[in-house]
Amino acid sequence: MARRTPSLRFQPSGGSRAQAVPVGKKQLLSIERQAGDGRGIAFEGGRTWFVSGALAGEQVEARVLGARSQTVEARSERIIVASSARRTAPCAHADRCGGCNLQHMAHADQLALKQRTLAEQLDRLASVQPDEWAAALVGPEFGYRRRARIAVRWDAKARQLQVGFRAEASQDIVAIEHCPVLVQPLQPVLQALPELLRRLGKPQALGHVELFSGTHTALLLRHTAALGEGDLALLREFCAAHQAQLWLQGEGEPQADGDVPSLGFALPHWALELAYRPGDFVQVNAAVNEAMVAQALDWLSVQPGERVLDLFCGLGNFALPLAREGAQVVAVEGVAAMVERAADNARRHGLEGTHFFRADLSKPLAEAAWARGGFDAILLDPPRDGALEVVRGISALGAGRVLYVSCNPTTLARDAAELATQGYRLRRAGILDMFPQTAHVEAMALFEKM
C-alpha cells in the first residue's frame, strides 16, 4: 500500500511542526498591546502570547501557564522595562492571588480599558455605537466588596489546613490576612478565620467559607460531613465574638444556626431593605449597586402608572425601586426561591402591587399570561450568557424603551444586534465599575424603538 501523504491543512506554515511550549518555560517578551481582559499581548515564535500582569510597551520575563497550537497563556514574573503607566500594586498578594488582575494599572486606566472593551464589542459584533456615551459609574476603588468566598483545603501529606484565596490559573491557595478590596467589617473576620478553622476537629470535612456584610455580618461554612458539638461550639463562639451570624451548609440549602435576624442589604434612597439568604445572587458592590439602580430609573424615565417588565429580577433590586417610583411592575425570575423572597420583600414594604412570577427565561415570553397587555418599558439584567431568546421576542411585548444591564460585553453586543433588527436604536451606554482592580466589565445600555 502506498504511503498516504498528509493533508496540507494539518501542516503548520513553513512545512514544519511548531515545537510545543512547555508549562513553566520562561520567555522574554515585548508587550505590544492590551487585551480586553487586561492581559498584555505579545507575538513570539509564531504564537500569540497573553500575559497577565503586563502592560503595553513593557518588556517582561513571563512564565508559561498553558499553551495551545497558536496561543500561549503566561504570567509576568519580572519586569525588565516598565511602562510609565505601571503603578505598585497596593496589595502584597497581587502577583499571586487570582482575585484582582489589574492592581498594577491606575484606576483611570482600568476604566479606559473597560470602556474600550465595551465599544469594541458593540462595534465588532453589532456594528453599533450609542448616540451618547455616559460617564463611567464609579464607587470606591478599594474596600467595596461585601461578599467573599474563602478557599479551604486539607493537605493530607503536610497535615495542614490551607486557607485563603485561589491563585491565578491554579488550585493553589494563597494565604491572605488582609484583602484591600474587602469591606472593613469583614477584615477582622478574614484575619482570624484561619486560626479558627485549624482548631476544628475535622479539617477534612471543611469545604469553603463565605463571608457576607449587609444589614448583618454572616459566615457560611460548607462542610462535607457532620460537625461535632465541639466544633459547633468553637464556630458559635467565634461568630459571637465577631457579631456575625453562623450559617451551615451540608447537603441541601444553607441553614442558619439558630434563630437569627433577616440578613439583607439596603437601598437607602428608596428606604428599602431586601432580605436574602447565603447562596442568593447579590451585587457585591453596595455603592455602585445603588448608583446603578438610580441611573437605570433615570434613563428609563418611567412615569407613574406605566407598566414595566423586570426580567431576571432576582430579589427585586430594580423592581422595588421602580414600584416606589409609581410604576406597575411585573417581575420575572427563573429561580423559584428568589421569586418567593422577592415577593416577601415587596410585601414587607407595602408594595403588593408588584407582581412576581417564575418563568424559564431561555424560552419565548409573549405567550405567558403575565405578558398580556404589553409594557411601556422593559428592564433586563441577565447572567453572563445574556438573554438572546428573551430579546428575540421583545418587540412583541410592545415596549418603547429597553434598558439592558450586562455583566458581559460580548453577549450584550450580540443581543444589541438582535434588538437593532427589531427597530431599536442604542441611545445611551456606559460602563459600571462594579469590580475595581479587575477587568470584569459591567455595562448599561438604553434602547428606544425608532
Provide the annotated active-site residues: 407
* Inter-residue contact 351 to 331 (CB < 8 Å): no
Residue among 167, 150, 132, 147 at smallest CA distance from 222: 150
In sequence order, what E strands does 279-437 have? 307-311, 328-333, 355-358, 377-380, 401-406, 424-432
424 strand-pairing partners:
449
Name residue, grid cell 418567593: 340
Give whole-number Cα distances, 98 to 119, 152, 171, 406, in Å: 26, 15, 10, 23
Nearest partner of 95 among 112, 79, 115, 111, judged by Cα: 79
Cβ atoms of 83 and 75 within 8 Å: the answer is no
Environment class of residue 47 by beta-carbon count within 10 Å: exposed (0-12), middle (13-18) or buried (19+)? middle
Distance (Å, whole) CA 103 – CA 123: 28
Q: Cell for 98?
A: 487570582
The whole-angstrom separation of Cα 429 and Cα 435 is: 18
Residues 182 and 103: beta-carbon distance below 8 Å: no
Helix (H, G, I), strand (E, B) or coil at 227: coil
Residue where the block lists cell 463565605? 210
- What is the distance between the alpha carbons of residues 107 and 37, in angstroms, rounded to a whole number? 15
The edge-to-edge listing of strands for the beta sheet with 255-256 is 173-174, 160-166, 147-155, 206-213, 217-223, 244-249, 255-256
Q: Cell numbers for 300, please give them.
A: 428609563
Output Rg (C-alpha) for the chain, integer angstroms.
25
In what order do the strands lie in the sheet containing 442-449?
Answer: 132-133, 424-432, 442-449, 401-406, 377-380, 307-311, 328-333, 355-358
Q: Could you tell me if 345 and 320 are in contact, meaning their C-beta atoms sit under 8 angstroms apart?
A: yes
Q: How far apart are the first and last CA of the chain?
A: 68
